[in-house]
């Protein structure tokens, strides 16, 4: 399994944000004039002279990148060398917005769903429909 261009863009952008979040600029550009609509994601840091760019027209890639921008982040498949080094197939990458806000995001807790009890009429009589 090789490392995908999308995964390398996400890891490089997160690394750049960890290094210098105050000088790093994230931008998302949509071009509807292209055949199927192109979306370009750019991460740029002028102080470190570093720029990463990823362009796609696939909605799956756009969704994954927007998840990476959020606080929860995404999981990325490791390449062959990384698998041998760490022994893990998948690596969890924190969200980019967490790095920008400098705040830990708590885990999501699922609340049990309470079933509503059916309401009973006030009196024991059935209500009659009025015809008009």
Residue ranges covered by each domain of the chain: 5-101
59-69 vs 5-19: helix axis angle to the nearest 10? 20
Other Cβ atoms less than 10 A from the Cβ of 30: the count is: 10
Confidence of residue 2 (pLDDT cuts 50, 70, 90): very low
CB burial string 97-122: b at 16+ within 10 A, e below? bbbeeeeeeeeeeeeeeeeeeeeeee
Q: What is the DSSP letter of 35?
A: S
Question: Model's pTM, two decimal places?
Answer: 0.62
3-class SS of residue 70: coil
Count of residues for the chain?
Answer: 132
User: What pLDDT score does 63 carry?
Assistant: 85
Which residue reads 């997160």 in tokens?
14
The model's pLDDT over 91-119, given as tens digits with 9 standing for 90+, comes to 667 777 666 665 665 665 666 666 666 65
* Average pLDDT value over all residues in the chain: 76
Q: Class for domain 5-101, per CATH?
A: alpha beta
* Cβ–Cβ < 8 Å for 99, 14: yes
Question: With 70 as the cut, is the pLDDT of residue 123 above it?
Answer: no
């Amino acid at each position: 399994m090789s490392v995908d261009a999308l995964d390398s863009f996400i890891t490089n952008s997160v690394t750049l944000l960890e290094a210098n979040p105050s000088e790093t600029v994230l931008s998302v550009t949509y071009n509807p004039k292209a055949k199927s609509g192109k979306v370009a994601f750019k991460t740029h840091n002028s102080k470190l002279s570093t720029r990463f760019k990823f362009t796609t027209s696939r909605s799956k890639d756009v969704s994954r990148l927007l998840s990476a921008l959020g606080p929860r982040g995404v999981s990325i498949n490791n390449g062959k060398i990384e698998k041998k080094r760490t022994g893990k197939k998948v690596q969890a990458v924190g969200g980019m917005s967490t790095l920008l806000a400098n705040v830990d995001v708590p885990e999501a807790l699922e609340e049990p769903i309470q079933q509503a009890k059916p309401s009973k009429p006030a009196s024991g009589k059935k209500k009659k429909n009025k015809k008009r």
